[in-house]
């Protein structure tokens, strides 16, 4: 007997139905996004500009900050657009 429970589509529901909650989600996500951009930007700038921080630990910290910038810049703007 073969399994016939395959899913061919899904329904993406809104996070909130009221406009006030949608705006609240948008502003919260925007705040998180800006805080992450500021924090990772400061880490990247500090490690790149200060020559005393050119050690392996800070090299990997710089890589982690850049990776986080890339990840957060792909997911949060899409989530903010979906919130509205």
20 vs 16: CA distance, rounded Å: 9
- b (16+ CB within 10 A) / e for 31-70: eebeebeeebeebbeebeeeeeeeeeebeebbeebeebbe
Burial class (CB in 10 A: 0-12, 13-18, 19+), 72: middle
Predicted pLDDT at 1: 63
Would residue 59 count as lying in a domain?
A: yes
Residue 84's pLDDT band (boundaries 50, 70, 90)?
Answer: confident
Would residue 7 count as lying in a domain?
A: no
* Chain centre to alpha carbon of residue 44: 17
Would residue 2 count as lying in a domain?
A: no
Predicted pLDDT at 11: 67
Would residue 13 count as lying in a domain?
A: no
Instruction: State mean pLDDT over 66-82.
Output: 92
Q: What pTM did the predictor assign?
A: 0.75
Give 11-41 pLDDT, tens digit per residue. 667 667 788 888 999 999 999 999 999 999 9
Q: Which residues form the domain of 68? A: 26-82
């Amino acid at each position: 007997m073969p399994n016939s429970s395959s899913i061919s589509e899904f329904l993406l529901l809104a996070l909130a139905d009221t406009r006030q909650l949608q705006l609240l989600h948008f502003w919260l996500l925007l705040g998180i996004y800006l805080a992450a951009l500021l924090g990772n930007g400061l880490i990247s700038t500090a490690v790149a500009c200060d020559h005393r921080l050119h050690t392996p630990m800070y090299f990997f910290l710089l890589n982690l900050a850049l990776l986080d910038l890339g990840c957060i810049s792909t997911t949060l703007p899409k989530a903010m657009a979906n919130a509205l």
